[in-house]
């Protein structure tokens, strides 16, 4: 993939380390939270069956008690489950996590010995989510009081236990596939129902990014994110983070997050979120470009691509005066000895990369506060479908391996001698050589 540049999978959690303040877990009890919004899939991963023998035991002795414990301080808990579609762009990502055995979920079914393997099967999770969403109203009222509510999603609708919740038509039917976006929709609904201090429980960086972007629109006093597991748990004050960032930076953070890599958009090889964040701070022109990118509906304007390419060039070489990725690749390869793997992507590959960025951040994430997202064809935004699976289109140019048998260049600074690589290969020097092809002209 040398011609496409180094677009790879990577880690997105580094973004949280970019000057983001956080609090320790023990401070959770000191906060006056009115509504907790939970990432259901994450909760199921964290709240394990332990000694439960059947799914009925797990629901009544483990899962529901966890929900009830949150209602001791909050008056409402929302549990948001993913919807697993077979034509999803994330299908390939899920398949990489491994496979498990299909198990029917009923109250009397014995729980498989390997909980994580069971959760690798989408149909298993879907059936489990439906099973857990059928809560017991009487039990909830008895344990938590008459003014407590639990809202759980079931595919495109919701179920409510305990005290009635108003304006349910604002959150159902909902066509969101990912819990990431639907969590923010439920935060907005909770806010319109009078809750001013919210807390999200998740392990997904995407939710943090979306929360920062949407915070001002929620019109709440405080929004906390209880993030991570085990020793890595943090309490992120989204209201505090937004106060320390420019409003425009908050608004376009999802676009920046997608440009530098997320679940459906490739990462830049060897360039993490920290270095990208540092480059953004030293290149303020990027902010306005990301704002304009949010309004793209068709072909991407050349002026926007030029600024974006310049940003990527600076990410790979802060001293470069190149504004084109193709020129920067040539300079880094011929003048600075960079290997092909450590070069930025080509302009052709980057154009397709930005199309996938727009699809994810503009066509999906930017509609997180709407119950029905507009649907767009991924094939027009850097994807192609093969055997019912969506795959990224990495480039439109032919690969170097197909067009060239080998890339030969020399490091001669003056006249080429018999030791010159090009001379040995009986080839003329080219612009790839250190001599810039001048020896071939003489």
Q: Check whether the bond before 381 is cis (ω within 30° of 0).
A: no
Measured from the Cβ of residue 397, the count of other Cβ atoms closer than 10 Å reads 14
Does pTM top 0.95 for this prediction?
A: no
CB 225 within 8 A of CB 251: no
In Å, what is the CA distance from 151 to each residue of 137, 239, 246, 409?
11, 24, 34, 64
Report the Cα 74 to chain-centroid distance in Å.
28
Give the phi and the psi of residue 254 in degrees, each rounded to 5. -60, -35
Strands 149-154 and 383-386: unpaired
Q: Which residues pair with 160 in a beta bridge?
A: 151
Cα–Cα distance for residue pair 360/90, rounded to 1 Å? 11
What does the pLDDT read at residue 25? 44
The residues, any chain, with a CB within 8 Å of residue 63's CB and separated by 6 or more, are: 43, 44, 47, 132
What does the pLDDT read at residue 198? 97
CB 266 within 8 A of CB 290: no
What does the pLDDT read at residue 419? 80
CB 93 within 8 A of CB 389: no
Cα–Cα distance for residue pair 17/273, rounded to 1 Å? 9
As averages over each run of 10 residues, the pLDDT of the chain (442 residues) reads: 51 59 50 92 94 94 92 94 87 66 94 93 94 78 82 95 93 96 98 96 96 97 91 90 94 96 90 91 94 90 95 92 90 86 91 96 96 94 89 81 59 79 77 72 56
What does the pLDDT read at residue 5? 54
Helices (H) and strands (E) in the chain, counts: 19, 11
């Amino acid at each position: 993939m040398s011609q496409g540049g180094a677009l790879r999978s990577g880690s997105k959690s580094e973004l949280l380390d970019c000057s983001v303040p956080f609090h320790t877990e023990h401070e959770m009890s000191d906060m006056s939270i009115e509504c907790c919004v939970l990432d259901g899939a994450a909760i199921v991963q964290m709240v394990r069956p332990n000694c439960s023998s059947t799914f009925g035991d797990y629901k009544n002795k483990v899962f529901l008690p966890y929900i009830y414990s949150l209602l001791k301080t909050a008056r409402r808990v929302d549990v948001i489950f993913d919807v697993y579609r077979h034509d999803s762009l994330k299908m390939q990502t899920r398949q990489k996590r491994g496979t498990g055995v299909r198990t029917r979920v009923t109250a009397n079914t014995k729980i498989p010995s390997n909980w994580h393997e069971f959760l690798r099967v989408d149909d298993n999770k879907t059936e489990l989510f439906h099973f857990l969403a059928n809560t017991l109203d009487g039990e909830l009222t008895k344990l938590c009081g008459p003014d407590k509510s639990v809202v759980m999603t079931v595919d495109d609708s919701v179920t409510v236990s305990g005290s009635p919740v108003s304006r349910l038509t604002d959150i159902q039917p909902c066509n969101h596939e990912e819990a990431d976006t639907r969590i923010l929709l439920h935060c907005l609904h909770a806010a319109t129902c009078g809750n001013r201090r919210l807390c999200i429980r998740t392990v997904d960086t995407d939710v943090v990014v979306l929360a920062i972007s949407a915070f001002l629109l929620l019109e709440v006093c405080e929004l906390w994110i209880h993030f991570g597991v085990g020793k890595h748990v943090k309490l992120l004050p989204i209201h505090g983070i937004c106060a320390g960032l420019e409003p425009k930076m908050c608004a376009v953070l999802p676009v920046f997050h997608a440009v530098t890599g997320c679940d459906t958009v490739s990462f830049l090889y060897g360039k993490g979120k920290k270095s990208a964040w540092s480059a953004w701070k030293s290149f303020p022109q990027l902010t306005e470009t990301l704002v304009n990118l949010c309004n793209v509906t068709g072909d991407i304007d050349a002026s926007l691509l030029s600024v974006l390419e310049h940003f990527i060039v600076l990410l790979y070489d802060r001293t470069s005066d190149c504004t084109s990725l193709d020129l920067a690749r040539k300079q880094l390869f011929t003048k600075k000895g960079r290997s092909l793997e450590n070069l930025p992507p080509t302009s052709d590959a980057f154009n397709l990369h930005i199309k996938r960025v727009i699809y994810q951040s503009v066509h999906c994430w930017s509609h997180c506060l709407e119950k029905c997202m507009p649907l767009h064809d991924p094939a027009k935004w850097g994807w192609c479908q093969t055997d019912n699976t969506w795959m990224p289109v990495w480039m439109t140019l032919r690969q170097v391996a197909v067009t060239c048998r080998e890339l030969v260049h020399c490091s001669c600074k003056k006249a080429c001698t018999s030791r010159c690589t090009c001379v040995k290969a009986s080839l003329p020097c080219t612009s790839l050589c250190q001599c810039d092809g001048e020896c071939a002209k003489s």
